Chain A
Amino acid sequence: MQEKGTEAKTGTKIKTKADAKANIKAVRHIKRFWPYYVMVTPGVIYLLVFRYIPMLGSVIAFQDFSVVKGIAGSDWTGWKNFQKLFQYQDFYKILKNTVILGALKILAVLPVPVLLSLMLNEVKNQKLKKGIQTVICIPYFLSWVIIGGLVFDLFGSGGLFNHIRNALGMKNLLVMQKESWFRPIYVFSSIWKEAGWGTVVYLAAISGMDPGIYESASIDGAGRFQKMRYITFPLLTPTVLTMFLLNIGSFLELGFEQVYNLYTPMTYAVADIFDTYVYRAGIQQGQYSFATAVGLFQSVVGLVLVVIFNHLSRKYSQEGGLW
């Protein structure tokens, strides 16, 4: 964008008519929008320095990076690190696990804060509402080590889950070592830890809604549920859509912490994902090149998904996508 600006300034020297026309257009654009350019400049420079410049270092994905030789001195290996990933004997297993858990996160976890926000909006007692709003955020501030530990306690032999089973005359069941229980526990713990915090953005969006609409709806005889269903929810859709697009970009990056603190060797078969594999094979062993290669793969998939869903959301919603 900046280039366009400088081009416009030197534009007078250019002779041809078409160019001149384009230049007049550019000059007009600059004249009209220069404050916008000034406003975005700090952010653009910031992203350049703190994000783009280090991002160039992703070239180590194509190296056999050595901590002694550095980026400049390490040997180039082409696609070897990617081949290693794709030829990994359990590649399809971790891909499948990652896709399933990623999909669960989008389908089962992402909508929960929306629902919670709509519900919070219906609480009449303001003090109670504030209290609940604060309390449901708390788990977000605790680490996965703590939450994971509590999940293990809850489902352990002395935990609440087995107390209930015993009370119902059933024998202890250690679900933390059952493959079939891993995914439900993953979803449950995600909701427990993150759903409350997720409401913040939706509650802010709800606070921005015009009270006038609600008043006229009340006059028309709409009940609370109708208002929630036909006013609040539709008005919340752009925010929901944005949150969805923000999350889909990291579809394959579920984070290492959560799974690592919830899985056991007996659930590896359904719980091992890219991030845990990279932890084992990459970071733990100091293989930065391999870790970077896996990261690039995850990012490329994320990019494709964002592009697709951005396109779709522009097609079906007037608010449009991210760009």
Chain B
Amino acid sequence: MRKKSVMALFLVGIMLTGTLWGCGNDKGGESSLNSQSGSSEEGQDEKTDAADTDDVVDLEMWITNPGYLAVEKGGVMYNFYKDLIGVGLTEPYVEWNGGQTYGEALNMRIIAGEMPDIVQPVNGVETGLAKEGALLDMTELLPEYAPNLWNYVPEKTWNVMKSYDPTGEGRIYMIPLVIDYTRHGAMIRQDWLDKLGLAMPSTQEEFVEVLRAFKTRDPNGNGLSDEIPTGGRAEARWMDYLFAMYGIAMWEGFPEWDIYDGELTYSAVTPNMRDALEFISGLYQEGLLDEETLINDKASWDGKVSSDQVGVFYQWPERSYQYATDIYNAVGVKAEWTVMPVISAEGYEGFYTTKPTAGVNNVVKNTEDPKKIEAIMKVMDAYGDPDLRDILTLGPEGMHSHRDENGNLVKSPVDKTTQEHLLLDPNGGFSDVESVVHQLELNMTEEDAWAIEKSIENAREVQKYGKVIAGDGIPATIYDGYDDIENRTLYVEYASKIIAGEWPIEKFDEFVEKWYAAGGEEVTRAAREWYAATQE
């Protein structure tokens, strides 16, 4: 018996040590953990040393990061910015995931009282922050300490930023996202047109004829009838040019606000939209639109374009080189993507939507510390500094850029395993057609010149067809409390079903009615009030 109980004790002991051993067993992880915390402590030491010696203010910045490495104190990017503008910038890696994960992580940091210094806001978080006094009022600071940015951004845009002040005082808490050019347009395979002896279409009839020819006359010459004349992606996105024929303001599939019938109106509920959907539905029934248009995700649709199957698609013309080189890499054909002039449906004036004030790029955490404010203004000024633009775009030599054979600095290809995030990229926040062209030039190599030169041509060409919409800069706050309107849930459901032929076009009238009843009335009122106020 005695022996038995000793045994039992022993077993309990084993159980307990088992638990302990479990902790000990992960020494691998722990020691690596220790070494990490050790190294970060070292980093801290460096920090204090650095602070003592050269008195650099460190700012934590959060910007969309599509998978690059974090920017850490003492690292390459950190030193690059420190040397260039005299400010230490850091950025942890935060997953973007369409803004969802990023937004959540940002909210948690704010809730914990640790908001980063400079932030790219998502999901309208900036309004609440401004309302609670958590943001730095930059109204007087910007003209004085960041003159480059202040002068670069048009005054009209600053006025829109003033209208975003939720307290109604007209203060500037937000740095705008400026896209001062027409970014989107339809592109057509010029080489297919040439091969079939067709002219660039300029009317709707000609356009439909071209699509028919693409479908039936084997322009890719592989002997299969695998051509997809045109198409788009799920939620009736990325085929805006078909809507544009009817004068519909739209941004990558999101209906926008413009003047219809003399008043600011949501483009999805206009008669223009009714006619556009009828036309698009007709294309779909005839098989001229990709059969999978309404279920394509990005990868599927891009895959079809890359497979040398698609004749017309809607994209950023400046990126046509990426699709062209993908096709070349896949099937060895040098595809000639050319901007297709805007086509007007009968009785309508077609245009490509241009939105110079595309939203809010940055907000800054409120602070009283003059040193910090000085550093923040240095960053803001650098954003708009024409002399720094090239070097900020190119990034540090050896990481983001290298010398070509002529000794000029050019961009290096993306390698996310070794490159830290280029977090102060003026092109991300402030761009016009010249900056885009210049960026393309910096990325050009001899091998890809054929494609990139075409991109430059396209980027310039599409400017002819753009129109700044009346709803440019409209704040998301007009949707407050009407999530389904903001998410355009009702619109995509009706639009998709009408295009797919599940529902007749008559259903569109029901949609308009429902939309107004579900809050469209209130949202429209708020939109028009905002418009009236900014017109003053």
Which A residues have a C-beta under 8 Å from some C-beta of B?
A: 66-70, 89-90, 149, 152, 156-157, 172, 174, 176-177, 264-266, 268-269, 280-281, 283-286, 288
Contact = CB atoms under 8 A, between A and B. Distances in A.
A35 to B, nearest CB: 11
A67 B483 contact: no
B234 A264 contact: yes
B149 interface: no
Contacts of A177: 294-295, 496, 500, 502
Nearest to B134: A68
A53 B487 CA distance: 34
Nearest to A162: B291
Max count, chain B CB within 10 A of own CB: residue among A89, A152, A156, A177: A177
A285 B483 contact: yes
Contacts of A174: 291-292, 295
B295 A283 contact: no
A157 B292 contact: yes
Interface in B108-155: 110-111, 113, 123-125, 128-129, 132, 134
Contacts of B294: 177, 264-266
A281 B479 CA distance: 11
- Count chain A CB atoms within 10 A of each CB in B235, B483, B484 and give the residue with the most: B483
Interface string B227-242: 0000000111000000
Given A67-B111, A67-B125, 15 more contacts: A66-B132, A67-B110, A89-B518, A152-B297, A156-B295, A174-B292, A177-B502, A264-B294, A265-B234, A265-B496, A268-B489, A268-B493, A280-B487, A284-B487, A288-B107
Contact of B483 (A70, A172, A280, A288): A280
Interchain residue pairs A-B with the least CB separation, the first 7: A281-B483, A68-B132, A265-B496, A265-B492, A67-B110, A265-B493, A266-B496
Nearest to B133: A68
27 contacts: A66-B128, A67-B125, A68-B132, A69-B132, A70-B111, A152-B295, A156-B292, A156-B295, A157-B291, A172-B291, A174-B292, A177-B496, A177-B502, A264-B234, A265-B234, A265-B489, A265-B496, A266-B493, A266-B497, A266-B502, A268-B493, A281-B483, A283-B104, A284-B100, A284-B123, A286-B103, A286-B107
Contacts of A70: 111, 113
A66 B496 CA distance: 36
Contacts of A266: 294, 493, 496-497, 500, 502
Nearest to A152: B295
Contact of B125 (A157, A264, A286): A286
B100 A264 contact: no
Nearest to B130: A68
Interface of B: 100, 103-104, 107, 110-111, 113, 123-125, 128-129, 132, 134, 234-236, 291-292, 294-295, 297, 300, 483-484, 486-487, 489, 492-493, 495-497, 500, 502, 517-518
A230 B124 CA distance: 61
Contacts of A265: 234-236, 294, 489, 492-493, 495-497
B484 A264 contact: no
Contacts of A156: 292, 295, 300
A286 B493 contact: no
Contacts of A286: 103, 107, 123-125, 128
A176 B295 contact: yes
Contact of B493 (A157, A172, A269, A283): A269
Contacts of A157: 291-292
Contact of A68 (B124, B129, B495): B129
Contacts of A68: 110, 128-129, 132, 134
Contacts of A90: 484
Name the residue in A68, A152, A177, A269 with the highest tally of chain B Cβ atoms < 10 Å from its Cβ. A68
A152 B297 CA distance: 10
Nearest to B129: A68
Contacts of A283: 100, 104
Contacts of B496: 177, 264-266
Contacts of A67: 107, 110-111, 125, 128-129
A293 to B, nearest CB: 14
Contacts of B297: 149, 152
B502 A280 contact: no
Contacts of B493: 265-266, 268-269
Nearest to A172: B291
Contacts of B123: 284-286
Nearest to A282: B483
Contacts of B489: 265, 268, 280
Contacts of A288: 107
A127 to B, nearest CB: 31
A184 to B, nearest CB: 17
B53 to A, nearest CB: 36
Contacts of A268: 489, 493
A266 B281 CA distance: 14
Contacts of B234: 264-265
Nearest to B98: A284
B122 to A, nearest CB: 9
A242 B4 CA distance: 36
Q: Which of A67, A156, A265 has the most CB of B within 10 A?
A: A265
A75 to B, nearest CB: 12
Nearest to B236: A265
A281 B107 CA distance: 16
Contacts of B300: 152, 156
Nearest to B497: A266
B295 A285 contact: no
Nearest to B499: A266
Contacts of A280: 483-484, 487, 489
B136 to A, nearest CB: 14
Contacts of A284: 100, 103, 123, 487
A240 B220 CA distance: 58
Contacts of B104: 283
Contacts of B125: 67, 286
Contacts of B110: 67-68
A280 B493 CA distance: 15
Contacts of A69: 132
Nearest to A157: B291
B368 to A, nearest CB: 17
B103 to A, nearest CB: 7
A285 B479 CA distance: 11
A124 to B, nearest CB: 36
A288 B128 CA distance: 13
Contacts of A172: 291
A177 B503 CA distance: 13
A31 B517 CA distance: 68
A109 B492 CA distance: 31
